[in-house]
A and B are shown apart, each in its own frame.
Chain A
Amino acid sequence: MTDLNKLGLAEARDALRAGDVTSVELTDACLSAIDGAGALNAFVHHTPEIARERAAAADTRIKAGDAPAMCGLPIGIKDLFCTKGVPSQAGSRILEGFLPEYESTVSQNLLDSGAVMLGKLNMDEFAMGSSNETSVYGNVVNPWKVDDRDLTPGGSSGGSAAAVAADLCLAATGTDTGGSIRQPAAFTGITGIKPTYGRCSRWGVVAFASSLDQAGPMTKNVRDAAIMLEAMCSHDPKDSTSADLPVPNFEAMLTGNIAGKKIGIPKEYRMDGMPGEIETLWTQGAEMLRDAGAEIVDITLPHTKYALPAYYVIAPAEASSNLARYDGVRYGHRAALAAGDGITEMYEKTRAEGFGDEVKRRVMIGTYVLSAGFYDAYYNRARKVRTLIKQDFEKVFADGIDAILTPATPSAAFGLGEEWDDPVQMYLNDVFTVTVNMAGLPGISVPAGVDAQGLPLGLQLIGRPWEEGDLLNTAYALEARAGFVAKPQKWW
């Protein structure tokens, strides 16, 4: 077999079990692809020794007939996940040199499931960004290209998206606070699912906005997403918001039969200035689901336009609290101090040097909206709006809607450096995805077509809480009809 790194999880799993290939061979193919892809800047900490050791162990298990779901499958891990003894910096200078003494629950679950970690993946600093331009490691470059410009892979899970799209690994972990799995998946032509809030443990995942953060898989297709999501999920007593619910066999739920399902089309997602090709793709997506036997229903989610401004109160507020721990005392960077500097100067200089501009901006906005005199006007009001956003979804689900179809992003991938004139313009990238985090729902981005330039575009499906299996099955039916097979031409 050639080009083993180009396989998906299901194909590789089946080949491993059939004895057609070994995990060591798969892993070596990925490690070579990674070595040849420095120009993408996706992998930022390489762990080839760990990878080869785990691959050899996986081969032994497979031979012994004891192969768990992800056994021998080489994957990348977003830098936000703490991995024992391996740098875990959240893309930030302030965690330079940090070597966790523990393993995050999600990466431990994947390890227990036999997965092989190839290394850590680039991301926006503390997952704050939509273009992977705020990372201390530098920009990630999208493997898709249409002219001489370098395009963004999206963010914050930009390294994960680029690595999967460029076949540097079979799949990768991502995290999603406002769209950080689904937007980069759409920009790179891959599949990404954010499960219901509470499905994946947040323990050991560097916190950004705790009431919104969720981990999820970024994969080459929907079946792979089902396989990897199941391996990532668990009830975890170490995360008080982790759901104590059984994790279904998601892959077994992929029948492709969605006859009689009701798919909602929310009118509020038809934005002014949305490119015509995105609107067309959205209409085509609805036709595909109708063709698969679903009923298409116009619905209304009236508070949609307030989700993004409410997010930019709640997420920075939580971030300002979560990031207070980076004080130069317990881990990471500490600024050099001048004679006479006390502890306050140490905090202020350490944080000024250790955080990048976007992180500082959000920590300070969060500090402001939580400060005396503004807490009610901003933070409490945003939390009330969040209640209304969630109620919008509860109403349509109570009316019998099974899933909601929307565009994943308001545009295709844009050029690196093109959207930084105004932070708010960058925030608008998450306009279709952020509602899902605000309501705690599962959402999946499926590649569904290309724009006039040939860049991938994604559609988003939003499901009922805890019904990821049903959502994945609807995505599977959409994927089958969209027939998206385009891949980036190798230039790196």
Chain B
Amino acid sequence: MSIDQSTAARVAKLARIKVEDDALPALAAEFNTILGFIEQLSEVDVDGVEPMTSVTPQRLKRRVDEVTDGAQPKKVLANAPDAREGFFAVPKVVE
């Protein structure tokens, strides 16, 4: 499977990473190198094999559904690039 420039642009968009148009050919070429390497997996007979969901045979633990933490808005916002009046601030989202 070969990735062209428009696919590379679409992937960059999905990943929310800005890639300038003049960088797309090199990016597509890198994707093709890596995907070419990954392509070996198609040789493996995986019929009837379950995809791994957990590497150790443990069940996820459950706990009581209750509040165990919270009420520390200052700490939550302490690292925000832009926080105002107890909220994270971002550019306008809705017109």
Q: Which residues of A contact B (CB under 8 A)?
A: 97-99, 101, 196-198, 211, 237, 240-241, 243-244, 303, 305-306, 308-310, 312-313, 320, 324, 327-334, 337, 341-349, 351-352, 355, 360-361, 363-365, 367-369, 371, 378, 380-388, 390, 422-424, 427, 438-440, 465
Contacts and interface: CB of A to CB of B under 8 A. Distances in A.
22 contacts: A101-B75, A197-B56, A198-B58, A211-B55, A243-B58, A244-B61, A327-B16, A329-B81, A329-B88, A334-B82, A342-B93, A352-B18, A364-B11, A365-B34, A369-B38, A371-B11, A378-B38, A387-B49, A388-B46, A422-B33, A424-B33, A465-B56
Contact of A352 (B17, B40, B46, B81): B17
Interface residues of B, number: 49
Interface of B: 3, 8, 11-19, 27, 30-31, 33-35, 37-44, 46, 49-56, 58, 60-61, 63, 75, 78-82, 88, 90-93
A355 B18 CA distance: 11
Contact of A384 (B12, B50, B75, B88): B50
Contact of B44 (A211, A351, A388, A440): A388
A343 B91 CA distance: 6
Given A343-B90, A348-B16, A380-B51, A361 B34 contact: yes
A22 to B, nearest CB: 35
B52 to A, nearest CB: 4
Contact of A334 (B53, B56, B81): B81
Contacts, number: 163
B78 to A, nearest CB: 6
A196 B56 contact: yes
B41 A237 contact: no
A330 B56 contact: no
Given A330-B79, A347-B16, A384-B49, A309 B88 contact: no
Contacts of B82: 334
A440 B41 CA distance: 20
B81 A328 contact: yes
A128 to B, nearest CB: 13
Contacts of A312: 34, 37-38
Given A342-B92, A364-B11, A348 B58 contact: no
A99 B79 contact: yes
B81 A197 contact: no
A346 B61 contact: no
A302 to B, nearest CB: 10
Given A312-B34, A346-B91, A365-B31, A382 B41 contact: yes
Contacts of B51: 380, 383-384, 386-387
From DSSP, what is the main secondary structure of chain B's interface residues?
Answer: loop
A422 B61 CA distance: 42
From DSSP, what is the main secondary structure of chain A's interface residues?
Answer: helix
A244 B43 CA distance: 38
Contact of B81 (A303, A332, A368, A422): A332
Contacts of A383: 51-53
Nearest to B8: A364
Given A348-B18, A440-B55, A309 B40 contact: yes
A361 B63 contact: no
Contacts of B16: 324, 327, 344, 347-348, 351
Contact of B17 (A211, A342, A351): A351
Nearest to A320: B15
A237 B63 CA distance: 9
Contact of B79 (A97, A240, A351): A97
B12 to A, nearest CB: 6
Contacts of B40: 305-306, 309
A196 B54 CA distance: 13
A345 B75 CA distance: 27
A313 B17 contact: no
A351 B11 CA distance: 14
